Amino acid sequence: MKTMWAPWRMAYILGEKENECIFCQALSENDDLTLCKGDVTMVIMNKFPYINGHLLVAPVRHLSSLDQLNQNEMVDLMSFLDKSVSILKKVMKPEGFNIGLNLGRVAGAGVEEHLHFHIVPRWFGDVNSLAVFADVRVIPEHLKTTYNNLKEHFNKL
């Protein structure tokens, strides 16, 4: 049996679970994961990503389902999804993307009370099937490095 070490996961496993909504918290402070705060939509990096560049796109308003979005929010969310993908293509050059929305805990929503989309860049040969088979993720670049590479592009939005 081979062992793969992922010591960064211990911060998540043993860490204190946040009571406050991570998206609302990101709006109220300057942190090193928030890439863009618009009037209607925000983009933040996933603190525990599947792979580098794993972004979360959420409405500013704290709501939990698609039917609560107004038309402006729906359009703005889709626009920021598109802009985020464009920035990731430019900076990280992925060969594909998984883009998804998990509605409800049973569907995999880690933060079910605040609607958010996941954008997960993909490359041929990335090894993130390990998450399925071994509960291990291989993240080749430090989170702060990814943030620094993306932030200047989101500042232009």
Q: Find the catalytic residue in 54, 116, 142, 153.
A: 116
Sign, CA dihedral 3-140-20-103, equals: negative
Measured distance CA(35)–CA(157) in Å, rounded? 10
Q: Which of 41, 14, 44 is nearest to 29 (CA)?
A: 44
Q: Which of 106, 105, 88 is nearest to 97 (CA)?
A: 88
* Residue 114 a catalytic site member: no
Measured distance CA(8)–CA(93) in Å, rounded? 25
List beta partners, residue 45: 55
* Active-site residue list: 116
